[in-house]
Amino acid sequence: METPFAKAKRSAMKSEFDPKALTTLLMNLLKERNESLREAALKSGLDHQALRRLLAGQRPNIVTCILLADHFGISPNDFLKLAGWPTMKVFDVEISSEENLPAEAIEVARDIAKIKDPMTRKAITEAIRTLLTKYFE
């Protein structure tokens, strides 16, 4: 049986947080979008000090992770994992109608989902979309 979210959250609060991966991701996303901390915070609906605290090594709260993920267009579960929080089922990506998709598409989607680094996953997805756009021209 799966651990209830509230229990997993309490457990995560007691665990040590390593900010390196999350701060690296945030800096890469800011650089990729050519945004300042203040711009990203405002567009995310956050106080810019929230991002400064994150970069200083403080664990962001769950809502901050979700708002940042929404702003940057990546899965909230990626931010939650990197911040040491449990993931949320509501953000799990599932193929709702596999029977309507070719087997090859399902295999590719599953392979992409295995990629741990969200930046790499995003880059590969964009490359596939570029190839498909060229194919359908």
Per-residue pLDDT of the chain (137 residues; tens, 9 = 90+): 678 777 878 887 788 888 999 999 999 999 999 999 999 999 999 998 999 999 999 999 999 999 999 999 888 998 999 999 998 888 876 544 566 677 788 788 888 888 888 888 888 988 988 888 887 77
Residue ranges per structural domain of the chain: 5-88, 98-136
Q: Tell me the CATH number for domain 5-88.
A: 1.10.260.40
Q: CB within 8 A of 96, min separation 6: which ones?
A: none
Tokens at residue 75, please? 């899965």
Cα torsion for 10, 12, 13, 16, to the nearest 10°?
A: 150
